[in-house]
Structures are given as C-alpha cells and as structure tokens.
Structure 1
C-alpha cells in the first residue's frame, strides 16, 4: 500500500469524498454532519492523503491544523470494497506519524455516536484515542463523539 499526499484533482478521490459526504448526510442531520467537501479540503490548513495499491484507490484521510500544537483528523474513509483489510489502520498510523513530525502535541477528531460509527470508534481507541469534550468550534451534540490523543513529540 502506498500512501501519498493528494492534491484532490483525481476523479477517484473526488468521487470517494463525495460518496463520504453523501453517506454522512444519510446518517446524520445537517447540524450534526461535519464532513468536508473537496473544496473545503483544499484549504491551506488541511493536508489530505490517499492510499493506493496497484493503481486502485483504497481510502483517504486528512489532517486539519487547528493551531500550531493541535490538529484534527478529517475525512477518514475506506473504499467499500476494501473495508476490513486494514486500510484505515494504515492511514491512521500515517496521520499520527505526520502529526508528530509536524510537532503537534494533540490530535483530535469528531465521529458519530450511532451504530454506523462503532468500528471507527474502536479503531481510534486501538490507536490510543480517548473520549474528550468538544474542541475547536464543535459544541455538545448527542450525535457527536469527540476523541483526542496526546502525541509524543
């Protein structure tokens, strides 16, 4: 598996992000949906990586800098055909490593509380993320589950 910084210009990655947006909109009401569009992911404070094998897109994940010491994981998504194959774990490991290299002391994320997000929460827990309160511009929401990890810098 090759994980590379993505400029979001390819049709495969844009289709995966649009699929992610559509799926999140099906699961969560608008006020509880925090997924970002391709245009939003092109922000200067966001870096996106995609995972590939033999020319096929497997998944993606992003880091959004909140400040010089704190980043947020965004847009973690595995292509449906590759669920359960370790793609998300490899991407998450890569994001944590990059966050440490950039000198962030804390890495946080928001995911959902409903059943569809259970596997994601378990993955984040496996990598040392723990439940926390809202961070950045988030507010308490019964459909949001906030997690954070202190990084070794």
Structure 2
C-alpha cells in the first residue's frame, strides 16, 4: 500500500478519530493512571509536530508525533496505526520521519514511554528494530510495571 506522510494539525476530524482509536486500544492494556495520553489540543502545541500517514484515498491510517522538551531531548508520542494497515511498515515510516525531524533539530536523544504486555509487543519490536534501547524512566514518568522506556541517542551520530 502506498502511503503519504506529512506534518498536519491534529485538529482535524479524521485525526481526532485516530486519537480516539488509539485511546480505545490502550484502555484495556493498563490502568488509566499509567496511560500518558496527549489530547489533540496538547498535540497542537508549538512544542509538538504531528505526522499523519494517509492511504491512496486520503484516509488517515496512522500518526506519530515528536514532542521537543529541550534543545537536547525529544520524545516520540502518540504512535498509532489502524489495525488494517499493521504489518505494512506504516509505523516504521512514521518513526523514520519523526527521527529525521529530531536529527534536523539537532536533538541529542529521542526517548519514549510505551505500555507493556502482549498488546504492546508490536510496538516494542518496532522500536528495538529501529535502534531504540531500553532505559529507565525519564522526565516525570513513574517507574511501574505498566511502562517500558526506550531511547535512541542521536548525538553520537553527529560526532561520528
């Protein structure tokens, strides 16, 4: 399937529908207090860049965002693809665009928090195959059995 990926505003009905689908997917996987969701309004902030994947018909089929916390640290947020496009590398293409933007912004590292358990196995595979390595909690995330943390150092690449 051919997919186009572009920076878009989250304040669109089809993107809101993706966010709702992601939230529905996450709901049974962990207690709500360990789900660190961003609303579409938060995603529209100047510190966050949202990438939307669209199929040939223009339907939004996936999304992922880069939230910049400091000149050194970026965070992958709200990664999601619709179940019908999983396995077609849409998530990989979204992640590539996010990391490309992080490199353009000369961030030292990109981190992420994601859930644990069987419902998150595909996400863990995507991140580790891309080069992310497990790490401990960062920012104000609590250490819990419900969260897994990963990082991708970028600074070493720039110096190499």
TM range (shorter): over 0.9
- 1:100 counterpart = 2:93: no
Match of 2:61, SS state, is strand
- Mapped contact 2:11–2:40 kept (Cα < 8 A): no
Deviations 1:17-56 (A, max 9, x none): 1111122122211221112121221222111110112212
TM-superposed CA distance for 1:65, in Å, is 0.7
Q: Which moved more, 1:25-34 or 1:132-141?
A: 25-34
- Of residues 45, 51, 54, the one that matches 2:53 is 51
Matching residue of 1:120 = 123
Q: Output the aligned Cα RMSD.
A: 1.1
Bigger shift: residues 39-48 or 90-99: 39-48
Deviation, 1:113, is 1.4
- In structure 1, the residue corresponding to 2:5 is in which secondary structure? strand
Q: Which contiguous aligned blocks of 4+ residues in structure 1 show a shift greater than 4 angstroms?
A: none
Alignment length (residue pairs): 153
Which residue among 141, 144, 153 is the counterpart of 2:144? 141
Distance 1:30 1:57 in 2: 26
Query: Scaled by the length of structure 2, what TM-score is found?
Result: 0.91
TM-score normalised over the length of structure 1: 0.95
Identify which range, 40-49 or 74-83, moves more after superposition.
Answer: 40-49
Structure with the larger strand share: 1
Residue in 2 aligned with 1:68?
A: 71
Take 2:130 and 2:86, find their aligned partners in 1: how far apart are those partners? 18
Give 5+ residue unaligned stretches, structure 2. none
Report whether the alignment pairs 1:31 with 2:45. no
Contiguous gaps of at least 5 residues in structure 1: none
Q: Report the CA distance shift for 1:40/1:26 in structure 2 as closer, same or farther (over 3 A).
A: farther
2:68 counterpart of 1:42: no
Secondary structure class of the residue paired with 2:27: helix
